[in-house]
Structure 1
Amino acid sequence: MSTYVTQLILSGIITGAVYGLIALGFTMVYNSTSVLNFAQGEFVMIGAVFSSVFITKYHMPYYVGVLLAISIAVAVGFGVERLSIRYLQRKNVNHIIMIMATLALAIIISNVTQLLVGTSSMYTPNVIDAKLSIGGNFITAQELIILGFLGLTVTGLWLFLNKTMYGVAMKATGIDKNAARMMGINIHSVILLSFVLSAGLSAIGGILIAPIISGTAQMGLPLAVKGFIAAVIGGVTNPFAGIVGGILIGLFEVFIAGYVSSSLVEIIVFLLLPIILIARPNGLLGSSR
């Protein structure tokens, strides 16, 4: 395998890991609410943008800026759940309205952030400024940290869903809400937990990619769309399948850009969605509910 191809694969996996984290958030929320949360990308944006503002503009210690950015994302996730799910459920509106509410909130969050921090691109310093050579290919310490965080997230979430009371309650809610309610599970608490977890994990993902890509107030919605496609490709009923979908999209993007044309990347990636839905309506690793 040539050095060029290996470098493309590494880049695709790194990019796909970010999409996979967003897709993981989509599936966590969907499995507890049956609603697609299009504000998911805004949690990534908050992590990337606000960590940069706190660390580079206000010169806060790295860990303080990171904790503040995650706290803001979690608070926003709490607000999104209250406004788009809890409030609308009381009004007995259908799921389409709830999905549109998350999209509207995503636009509001983006615009408010733009008013607060401006439109310029922002970067966060690397956690570790070093490179590792693998067979003539270079991978930065930051990229290794992203992959490590993805691995820890998958492992930790699997343990949480299968070995803890709250995780089992979340799985039960995703399988059958009425049965879970009859078993004494507080459905509203489970839904709120899924939003808070997905917001926190996505914010950390945003913080980790901020040194690699420019963070802007407008980056959230495009990332949410990619995460949504990754979740659908993997299968929205499988919490971990979106990570596979995200890595596939990342690989598609870099190989199309490297061998065809970067201008065709978005078109071809979006074409993947109907193709997968026709061939595998439940996604590559999903199952019917």
Structure 2
Amino acid sequence: MRVIFMGTPDFAVPTLTEIVAAGHEIVAVYTRAPKPAGRGKSERRSPVHEQAESLGLPVFTPKSLKGIAEQDVFASHAADVAVVVAYGLLLPKPILDAPRMGCLNLHGSLLPRWRGAAPIQRAVMAGDERTGVMVMHMDEGLDTGPVGLVDEMPIGPDMTTGELHDAMMRVGADLMGRALAALERQSLEFTPQQQEGVTYASKIEKSETRIDFSRPAEEVHNHIRGLSPFPGAWFELGIGGKPVRVKALRSQIATGDAAPGTILDGLTIACGTGAVRLVQVQREGRGPMDAETFLRGVGTKPDRVL
């Protein structure tokens, strides 16, 4: 089939590779425009942009798809279907209607739970035990279209968003490959989403990344692993007479009974109920390190309150 691929981050790269390997013709790749990054603020292309160019595919980076000119260019590709994986731009109705068989979206949740921008992070932060990837036929709503294929997977009790992300992008690539094969055979059937159980996965805001040790240990643990590795849940620790921001990247549920934020031993911190043991942290300006290595560098005393 003639396919338009639309995606931006590394999560989308395996799906693009899978579609090419299946023998479909990628007539255009749409991705977000390069952005200034790094100390030199040089423009950095998206992971999908890099992969597309390495495969010799034509790349388009419009800042919006709302204009008539951009919509005409999109329609001129005469695609059978568009595949959308974490693209990052709103698709207006003329874009959705342009491909002969519409637009398929790969979404990282069990819809209708966690519609929206951050479904993987929100599922982990909420302590969900299961999630999945779905191939959905897009409509004008926010992740409201009917579902064609689904692959469920468990979320382990200590699993981070980074680990779940990597597992889902591999499973999702295979799922989209199977969906396109079924679509080509005209055997892909879509089922409307349930009306019950709708939740929204809003974008992660900076204001919610600081750790609140007054919450129960399970909630603190889920908060930490849900924001790991990015943007990272953090706390402040006095080092060398000044407060230093420290990201908590991995944690475990522990036992303890003290005022919230009290260091019990090592990097075991008392919470509103129970405690969490920080297993991996990242000091501001440094790389990730295990708790033992961190403590050798800064030291902490029991009964100190963060």
TM-score with structure 1 length normalisation? 0.25
Give the structure, 1 or 2, with the largest relative contact order (CA under 8 Å, sep 6 or more): 1
Structure with more of its chain in helix, by fraction: 1
Query: Normalized per residue, which structure has more strand?
Result: 2
Larger radius of gyration: 2
